[in-house]
A and B are shown apart, each in its own frame.
Chain A
Amino acid sequence: MRFCAHCGVKLANDNPKCPLCDMDTEKIDDEFSLDYPYIKSRFTRGLLIRLISFMAVVFASASFMIDHLVPTGSPWALITIAAIVYVWISAMNLLRHTPNPASIALCQLFCIGGLVFFIDFFTGFYRWSVNFVIPFLIIGAAIATTLMIAIRPMKYRAFTIYQFVIAALGVLSVLLWVFGWSEIEWPVVTAAGVSILCFLAMLVFSYRRTQHELKKRFHV
C-alpha cells in the first residue's frame, strides 16, 4: 500500500502517483491490490466507420473530378458513385450489427436492387433490372429467410418480421408491372407468389409461433 500525505489517504494500488492529486506517494508496505486491467487504446469500430466513410468520400469525389476534367459523355462516374454508396451501406450494415443474416439479406435486397436499377437507368434503360434482377432478388431473399427459420427455429424465429416485410415487397413488386415499368409479367408475378407462399408456409406450419412473433412486434 501507498500513502498520499497531501490528501491523507491510503492507496490500494501500486501507482507511484496519487489518483486524486497526482503527487508522488510513499510506499508503506508491500501489499497492493490489482483492481483493474490496463486498457490499451485499440483500433475501434468507430474509427473504422470513420475511415471507411472518409475513403468513400475520397473515391467519390476523385471519380467526380476526373469525369469533370476528362469528359467522356458516358455516365461512368455516376455508376462508380452508386457502387461506392452500395459498398458503404453494406459495410455500415455489417459493422453495426452483430451477425443477423435476415437483416443483412433485407439490406442487400434493397441495396443491390437500387444499384442495378441505377446502372440500368443510366445505360439506356433496357429494363433488365426491373424485368429480372429485382424480382429474382425478392425470390432469393424470401427463400433464404424461410430456410433459415425452418432450419433453426430457436435461433431465427424473430426473423418472421423480415419475412413479412419481404412478402410485402413481393406484392409491391407487382406494381412495377402495373405501372408499366417492367415489360415482362411473369418474373414479378413469380416474385409475389413465391414470397407470399413462403410467408404462408410459416403461417401454416407454425401458426402459433408466427402469430406469437407478430403479436410481440406489433404490441401496443
Chain B
Amino acid sequence: MSYKNNRSPHSGIDETYWNGLDNTAKLFPSITTTRSPNVFRLCAVLFDEVDPAALQTALEKALAIMPAFALKLNRGLFWYYFDVNNERPIVTMEHTYPCAPIYRAGERGFLFRVTYYHKRINLEMYHALADGMGAVSFMRVLVYCYFNVISGSEVPEEDIRRESDEAARDFGEDSFVINSEECSSESGTKAVREPEAYRLGGFQYDGTRLGVTSAYIPTSALLELAREQGATLSEYVTALLIFSVFNTSYRRSLGKRPITISLPVNLRGMFASNTLRNFFGHMNVGVLPERGASFEDILAAVKERFSKCLTREYFERQIASHVKIERIPGVKFVPIWLKNLIMRGFYKSSEKRHTLTFSNLGKITLPPVIADRVERFEAYIGGSETHVKKTSLCSYGDSLTLSFSSTVDDNSLEQFLLSYLSRKGVPITVSSNETAPPPKKVKPKLSKEEKLRAKTDKKTEKADKKATKKANKAEKKAIKKAKKEKK
C-alpha cells in the first residue's frame, strides 16, 4: 500500500502511525481525574471578532500541517499509546469553564480543544500530548492558518508549511530517552529529598469550575523592575509569588514549612531538541522566610536557588532518574492498571513538595506577516485537586500576561501581588472570568384578577379552536356526502 493511500482525509497523517507516550506523558493518564484534568489553555486575543467558519477551516489546515496533534489516546495492556484520530475536529463557541477535562477514561476523542469567544481563540491541550512549547507551536500554525483563510494570498500558506516542516522533523520523539544516553545519574552528589512545602488551602469549587484572573502588564515595565533588582523576569516573579504567599495566607499558618514554587523548565534549548511532545524538567524554588522578611531577602534567596538549579547537570540528573525507572528490568511487563496505581502513589508524595506552580512560557513570536494582527497571548494552567492555585506567564511584544487559575474563591494572593506591583508604578489591567449572569427575562407580575382573566381567555381560546375544528369536520363531511349523492 502506498503511503498516500494510508493518509486519512482530515488529518493528513499516515494512518498506520502510532506511538508510545514520552517519558513524562506516561504519568498524566494515570493521575487525570475530573477535578485534576491536566489541561492547560493557550489563548490568542485578536483585534477583531473571530469568524467561526474561518477558524474551523484553519483548524483543519493546521492539523494537516502538524499531524502530530491529530491523535487520540488508547490504553494497551502494558502502556498507553497514541493512535491516529481521523475524525474531523470541531470548533465550538466556548461554553465551559477554562481547562475543562479533555481526556476521560473511555473517551477517545482529540486530545485538544479549540474554542472561540468574541475576540479570543482558545487552544486547550491535554498535557500528555504536548507541553507548553508544543502547544505554542501548534497555536502559531493555527493563528497563521486563520489569517490565511481570512485574507488569502496576503498570508501565504507555503511559508508556514516550510517553517513547520522544519520544526516538526522529530515531532514524535521521546527526548527524555534520547538525551538520557549522555546523562549520568551519579554526578557526584545525591539529590537531596526536598522537605514538604506549605500548601494553600480553602474550600474548593464544585465540579470543573475554575476561576481565572489575568493581569495585563507592559513587558517593559516589569522587565525594568526586575532589572533594577538585578534579577531575571522568572526570578522576579517567583520571588514576588513567594512574597505574596508569605504576606497573605502564610501568616495564619504556623510558618514552619517553606514556601516552594515549582517551575517547569523547557529543556529543548538546553538539550538541542525540537520535539512537539513533552520535554521539560522541574525546578523547585523553596524559601523558608523569617518573620518580617522583606522582598529583597526573598529575592536574594530565590536568585541563589536559581543559579544552583538552572544548570545542565541538574536536569541531566533529573532526566536520568526519570528514565531509570522506565528501564528497570521487568517494569515493562507490569499491567497498566498496576502501573497507574504505583505512579499515582509516587506522584502524590512528590506533590507535597510545592506550594504553587509557576509556568513561564516566555516570549511568543509570530511570523512578521501576521504579527500586528494579534493583540496578546494568554496561558492558563488547569485546576488540580491538591493545589488550589497555579500561575503562568507569557509575553507577546510589549504585552505580558500574568495569569492565575484558582479552584477556590479566595483571591487574596492575586490581590496582594497585583496591588504591590501597582504601587511600584506598573500599570495593570485585570480581566477575570467572574462574569455576571446575563439579565433574566422578567415575566411581568400579574395581579390575581389579571391571572384569572388570562386563564379564562385561554379557555375560551381553546373552546373556539374546538368549535372551528368541529365546524371544519362537519363541512368536510357535508362535502363528501354531497359528492356521494352526485354519484
Contacts and interface: CB of A to CB of B under 8 A. Distances in A.
Contacts of B436: 15-16, 38
Contact of A20 (B104, B118, B333, B430): B430
Interface stretch (B92-100, B230-238, B306-314, B479-487): B92-100
A10 interface: yes
Contacts of A11: 429-431
Contact of B411 (A1, A20, A97): A20
Given A98-B106, A220-B79, A12 B216 contact: yes
Nearest to B429: A10
Contacts of A1: 429
Interface in A1-49: 1, 4, 6-13, 15-16, 18-22, 33-41, 44, 46
Nearest to A95: B106
Contact of B418 (A7, A39, A218): A7
A44 B209 CA distance: 12
B215 interface: yes
Contact of A36 (B94, B414, B427, B429): B94
B8 interface: yes
Contacts of A18: 430
A47 to B, nearest CB: 9
Given A13-B432, A19-B411, A34-B117, A219 B78 contact: yes
Interface string B109-126: 100000001111000000
B9 to A, nearest CB: 9
16 contacts: A7-B415, A7-B422, A12-B216, A12-B429, A13-B431, A15-B432, A19-B213, A19-B411, A36-B433, A37-B95, A40-B437, A96-B106, A98-B109, A216-B83, A217-B76, A219-B79
Given A7-B419, A36-B117, A218 B78 contact: yes
B74 A216 contact: yes
A35 B411 CA distance: 19
Contacts of A40: 437
Given A35-B120, A41-B206, 7 more contacts: A11-B429, A20-B419, A35-B433, A36-B94, A39-B96, A103-B106, A216-B76
A46 B436 CA distance: 25
A41 B411 CA distance: 21
Nearest to A39: B97
A207 to B, nearest CB: 13
Interface of A: 1, 4, 6-13, 15-16, 18-22, 33-41, 44, 46, 96-98, 100, 103, 154, 158, 212, 216-220
Contacts of A20: 213, 411, 414-415, 418-419, 430
Nearest 9 interchain pairs by C-beta: A8-B422, A19-B432, A36-B433, A20-B415, A12-B431, A220-B332, A97-B106, A10-B429, A7-B419
Contact of A9 (B20, B105, B206, B215): B215
A41 B208 CA distance: 10
A33 B45 CA distance: 11
B34 interface: yes
Contacts of A216: 18, 74, 76, 81, 83
Contacts of B18: 216
Contact of A218 (B76, B415, B430): B76
Contacts of B97: 39
B450 interface: no
B5 interface: no
Interface string B63-100: 00000000000101111010100100000011111100
Contacts of A97: 106-107
B188 interface: no
Contacts of B414: 20
Most chain B beta-carbon neighbours within 10 Å: one of A12, A103, A212: A12
Nearest to B105: A96
A100 B422 CA distance: 53
Contacts of B106: 96-98, 100, 103
Given A38-B437, A217-B76, A9 B98 contact: no
A22 B415 CA distance: 10
Nearest to A12: B431
B8 A154 contact: yes
A9 B428 contact: yes
Contacts of B332: 220
Contacts of A7: 415, 418-419, 422, 430
A107 to B, nearest CB: 11
Contacts of B422: 7-9
Contacts of B333: 220
B16 interface: yes
Given A34-B118, A219-B76, A212 B16 contact: yes
A7 B244 CA distance: 14
Contacts of A212: 16
A6 B434 CA distance: 18
Contact of B428 (A6, A10, A34, A103): A10
